[in-house]
Structure 1
Amino acid sequence: MSKRESTYQAWLGRFTRVADHVADNLDAPLDLIRLAEIACLSPYHFQRCWLAFTGETLAQMVTRLRLHRAAGELLRDDTAVETIGRRAGYGSAAAFTRAFARAYGRPPAAYRAAGRISPPLSINQKPEGDLRMFEVRIEDTEPLTLAAAHHLGDYMEIEKTFNRVMAHFAAKGALGKGPLQGPPRMIGVYYDDPDQVPRAELRADAGLVVPPDTEVEDPITLVELPGGPHAVLRFKGPYAELDGAYRWLYGTWLPQSGREPADAACFEDYLTNPREVPAAENVTEIHLPLKA
């Protein structure tokens, strides 16, 4: 390993610690001096280094994560918008509404209402009554190998686990080289239904597509995703709204498709970087494995 690579790994480790601390303490004051200490940097230079290394300011990261959490809360229950806004760090409902609308394309109340226009189907409900439609295609896919870390808990907090996977390969100096040249292909494998399993018990794998012979070390493991026919739903919008897309896929598309799901978990293929586009512009493809 060259000196340049080892230096890069040291910086990556610093900022991964900071990112984890921020994600774990969104409701606490995020003191600049404390964050600089975690990064082992002078407070005079920490913010400039963070922006140059990550591509977003600390304030942008905190805002993005708090609004991401707020979007999930708006769709999850009937907590007052004002309460959710205060938890997101806004002193008034008006300030929260403006910030949320900039990121998510509509005010919180409208976002909540729009996210609930497709309720779960009852046994005798006709699918023609559904108001939302999504693009679904059938395609035969090649098997994929993921270098993944296991995630246990709220799916809305899986970004931390993806960060650890990226840090693992960066520490090896593998990113941007050989088969990992170019933007990494990030995949999330989700084993449980968040509408039925307690958030603390939800299981997932956060991974990076790698060659099958890739060597990894604990806590990174290789996860094999079978190839074959998949129903692929292309979704554009915030990650918090993906639950509605799953309900439509299983409750409307699947019963009308004439297809049967295979004995394998769904996975999500993330086609955009949430640090680079507004939440409303995220593009995700949900893959539902099908029987041949």
Structure 2
Amino acid sequence: MSQQQISYRKRIDRVVNYIYDHLDEPIDLQHLADVACMSPYHWHRVYRAIQGETIAATVKRLRLHRAAGQLAQSKISIEEIAERSGYCSLAAFTRAFTQVYGQPPAQYRRAGSHTRLQSAIERGEGQLFPVEIKTIEPMTLIGLPHQGDYMNIGRVFEPVFGWMGQAGLLPQMRHAMATYYDDPDSVPEADLRSFAGAVFAATVDVPDHFESRTIEGGRYAVLRYRGAYAEMSTAYRWLYGTWLNNSGVELRDAPCVEDYLNNPREVAPSELLTDIYMPLADE
């Protein structure tokens, strides 16, 4: 990657970090040109060319992703969530949310798949998700660490995918993965540790500030999850609470890994596919 490409990449990364830090505030798209230190005449074209979507689409996607998490996992009022998401009225927020998530916010909170799955877990229902035991070889994950709310891991996925796109490495990517080191039910949100990156089919040149982590080889229970990332915690509860208790297997001292099989920019949240890898001891 040329020095000019690296310069543009750093500018885009500054903008993405700014958006994450200011999701609760009005985001002036012209001000983002100042954050990127670029002319407002060219800023939007450069961003779209590098990121593959408009800046407005990025802001909307990240705000609605956070809103879905707040609806599924908190008791924050829908009116407050709408205001935090930058919508001037509840009606405008409801239209935007329904367009992306397929149902109005109130219905999503009351009867989304997270509530149906939790009820099924409480009733002790059996095979809610497909699970397959696999043995894999060690893999090298190249990317960036993240600390804080797991729902915000996209904050580091954005520069990882931006780098791959600019360097022409997307055809060589085998997996887009993240490793999660802490239990969000027992570790304070601010202290949660994770790592997001990609596994490649061949050796690639890595930017200086990127890191590599080894995903251990061995046996894993692999759960195939379909749906919004905001609702995935329910799948974890079923995997650990129901499937594990009935499986006769033992856990191994290694972190869980998620393998993201499609792109949230290209498919609806309900169609996102994720493989959750839970490490198992040898037989």
Q: How high is the TM-score relative to the length of structure 1? A: 0.85
Q: How many Å apart are 1:52 and its aligned residue?
A: 2.2
- Is the CA contact (8 Å cut-off) linking 2:9 and 2:163 kept in structure 1? no
Distance 1:93 1:33, change over 3 A: closer
SS in 2 for 1:40: coil
- Is the CA contact (8 Å cut-off) linking 2:148 and 2:192 kept in structure 1? yes
Kindly report the root-mean-square deviation, in angstroms, between the aligned alpha carbons of the 2 structures: 2.7
- Is the CA contact (8 Å cut-off) linking 1:13 and 1:167 kept in structure 2? no
SS in 2 for 1:267: strand
Deviations 1:81-135 (A, max 9, x none): 122112112222222222112111222222223323344999xx6623x7x8112
Match runs of 1:138-287 below 5 Å: 138-166=133-161, 173=167, 175-176=168-169, 181-183=171-173, 185-210=175-200, 219-287=209-277
Distance 1:21 1:241, change over 3 A: same
Give the aligned residue type for 1:54: Q
Deviations 1:113-165 (A, max 9, x none): 3323344999xx6623x7x8112111111111112322111111111122344
Q: Is there any run of 5+ residues in structure 2 with no aligned partner, and where?
A: none
Q: How many Å apart are 1:168 and its aligned residue?
A: 6.0
More displaced 10-residue stretch of structure 1: 97-106 or 216-225: 216-225
Number of residue-to-residue matches in the alignment: 280
In the aligned structure 2, how far is the partner of 1:14 from the partner of 1:121? Answer: 46
Give the aligned residue type for 1:196: S
In the aligned structure 2, how far is the partner of 1:44 from the partner of 1:291? Answer: 57
In the aligned structure 2, how far is the partner of 1:222 from the partner of 1:120? Answer: 39
In the aligned structure 1, how far is the partner of 2:105 from the partner of 2:57? Answer: 19
- Is the CA contact (8 Å cut-off) linking 1:32 and 1:43 kept in structure 2? no
- Is the CA contact (8 Å cut-off) linking 2:25 and 2:84 kept in structure 1? no
Which residue in 1 is equivalent to 2:48? 51
In the aligned structure 2, how far is the partner of 1:184 from the partner of 1:28? Answer: 37
Which residue in 2 is equivalent to 1:117? 116
More displaced 10-residue stretch of structure 1: 241-250 or 92-101: 92-101
In the aligned structure 2, how far is the partner of 1:144 from the partner of 1:193? Answer: 23
Which residue in 2 is equivalent to 1:14? 11
Deviations 1:149-206 (A, max 9, x none): 22111111111122344466678x5x42xxx743462211011122222211111111
Give the aligned residue type for 1:93: L
Identity %, equivalent residues: 46
In the aligned structure 1, how far is the partner of 2:158 from the partner of 2:61? Answer: 15
In the aligned structure 2, how far is the partner of 1:105 from the partner of 1:222? Answer: 37
Give the aligned residue type for 1:202: L
Give the aligned residue type for 1:117: R
SS in 2 for 1:149: strand
Q: How many Å apart are 1:251 and its aligned residue?
A: 1.0
Deviations 1:38-65 (A, max 9, x none): 2232212221222222121111111110
- Is the CA contact (8 Å cut-off) linking 1:135 and 1:233 kept in structure 2? yes
